[in-house]
Amino acid sequence: MSSTYGEKIKISVFGESHGNGIGVVIDGLPAGVKIDMDKVLVQMSRRAPGKDKTATPRKESDLPKVLSGMLGDTLTGAPLCAVIENTNTKSGDYGNLLNCPRPGHSDYTAYVKYNASNDIRGGGHFSGRLTAPIVFAGAICRQILEEKGIKIAAHIASIGNVNDKSFNPVSIDDKLINKLSNSSFALIDDSVEEKMRAEVESARLAQDSIGGTIECAVSGIEAGIGEPMFEGVEGVIAKAVFGVPAIKGIEFGKGFELSKMRGSQSNDPFEYKDGKVVTKTNNCGGILGGITNGMPVIFRAGVKPTPSISKEQDTVDLQKKENAKLVIKGRHDPCIVPRAVPVIEAVTAVAILNLL
């Protein structure tokens, strides 16, 4: 089992949801860069569970302990390793899952691939809990990018059928980026929050869950970054994004909407503005031929509903080899979209730093 990403900047995630701890090793970071740990902890807090009714009641402080790679507040150039202790586990809630895989989870596929040796408690290594060290890695990479004038922000584009406004595709205000990057329920239009929360609460009361979408933007990135074909910006970002549990789709710019357009509608006309080549629109999401064109890189990711729901579901008993019914116990998010926002920002930061 290998949970690594990146070539220039490589992250390796380790641990299980109900093990002693989880963590990440980051290789390739530049030496001499000062890291503001308070800013790192802000990102960790945005993802941490137990702080909102839309999230699991499991409470974890998610305080990373740096074991190597930093001297004081400065990166040394050695592999940066951080560990996060698991302090609030209830492994007994998962006893009935040893033989009966949860629909929508990795239980069955992991059972087959790893010869029934996979840790089932809380999803083990497949759990969304493993996104905590990813957020740590992204928070480090984000600060390095910000020194280069590159900023990343994401927001809840939708929950169920309730939609937020979209980013201005050609110009993203720094104030908005700062607002979203520090929010635990990140929205461009705050007036839709109540409707989104009502959508989540409706699913929770029905012993169910709800999915949504996340829109992410990268501003300040210059033209000429990336490679054609298999090393294109879309591919590098998409591989990182699909490493986040529950992500089932991604589109850049107008994405699938482009399939309904004519070329005259989808093409982004060029113009000079303040001596710089820009495009009047940004249907391509800031990427042409796998290479950045200097406009904001914008994409949307689709998040499926949390598969752990309280309703009785159909499954199988792998030992008895017969059909079975399953009621899932434990503490789960009725909607993971709000907590997934900083995770999407994090993997995007790692991907962009790799591209640079």
Cross-strand partners of 251? 300
Look at the block and give the residue holding tokens 């909607």.
335
Q: With contact defined as beta carbons under 8 Å apart, do 304 and 297 qualify?
A: no
Rounded to whole angstroms, how far apart are CA atoms 352 and 152? 10
Number of alpha carbons in the 13 Å side-chain half-sphere of residue 188: 20
Closest by CA position to 349, among listed 207, 154, 187: 154
Angle at 167 (CA atoms; ends 161, 168), nearest 5 degrees:
135
Q: With contact defined as beta carbons under 8 Å apart, do 353 and 141 qualify?
A: yes
Q: Is 202 annotated in some ligand binding site?
A: no
Q: Is 256 annotated in some ligand binding site?
A: no
Q: Is 308 annotated in some ligand binding site?
A: yes
Q: What is the CA radius of gyration of the chain?
A: 21
Q: Is 151 annotated in some ligand binding site?
A: no
Q: Residue 98 in 3-state DSSP?
A: coil
Q: Is 79 annotated in some ligand binding site?
A: no
Q: Is 307 annotated in some ligand binding site?
A: yes
Q: Is 300 annotated in some ligand binding site?
A: no
One-letter-per-residue 3-state SS of 184-225: CCCCCCHHHHHHHHHHHHHHHHCCCCCCEEEEEEEECCCCCC
Q: Is 302 annotated in some ligand binding site?
A: no
Q: Is 332 annotated in some ligand binding site?
A: no
Q: With contact defined as beta carbons under 8 Å apart, do 299 and 251 qualify?
A: yes
| H or E, element range at 266 | helix 263-266
Rounded to whole angstroms, how far apart are CA atoms 263 and 105? 41
Q: Is 126 annotated in some ligand binding site?
A: yes
Binding residues, by number, are: 47, 53, 125-127, 289, 304-308, 331
Binding residues for NADP(+), by number, are: 47, 53
Binding residues for FMN, by number, are: 125-127, 289, 304-308, 331
